Amino acid sequence: MKICEILKPEMILPEFKGRDKDAIINELIDLFKEDNRIKDIEKVRTAVLEREKIMSTGVGNGFAIPHGKTPGVKDIVAAFGKTSDPIDFQALDGNPVNLVFLLVGKDNLVGPHIKLLSRISRMMNKEEFRSKLAAAESSKEIFSIFEEEEKKYLDLQ
């Protein structure tokens, strides 16, 4: 499964309105309100926020990957957003975050969920990729950057 199979331009926010961790996570989850892959958006919200309480998903380098597994979805879903004014995410490196990738999986799709988390992490560890995302101005431009980067990972399924 590829990131661009689950991330769609309409699930990308080129600039968050929220100014704190919970607000931006909720902003991303709210993108799924009309998504037919979602059975119960409140179960999605609970799964992601409860996972965040266990340990911050701010992995460092200005990036966070909030995620969760729930029976509230029919399939794995994703959303992405960014901010030009980085926020405190209690990241592991102590630095603020400006790029946030949300991944929510069906509770019984553990393998694909973990593979996608790994792929996202690998991509986001590239400074050039993060810089391109930070500079992008539209959802379509951000999606294109993900598509181009993911082409480098064709060997990973």
Positions marked catalytic: 67
User: What is the rounded distance in angstroms from the CA atom of residue 97 to the CA atom of residue 126?
Assistant: 15
Q: Residues in the chain, how many?
A: 157
**What are the residues whose beta carbons fall under 8 Å from the beta carbon of 128, sequence distance 6 or more?**
none
Where residue 132 falls (left for φ over 0; alpha for ψ -120 to 50; beta otherwise) is alpha
CA 65 vs CA 19, 52, 78, 79, 116: distances in Å = 17, 10, 10, 10, 11
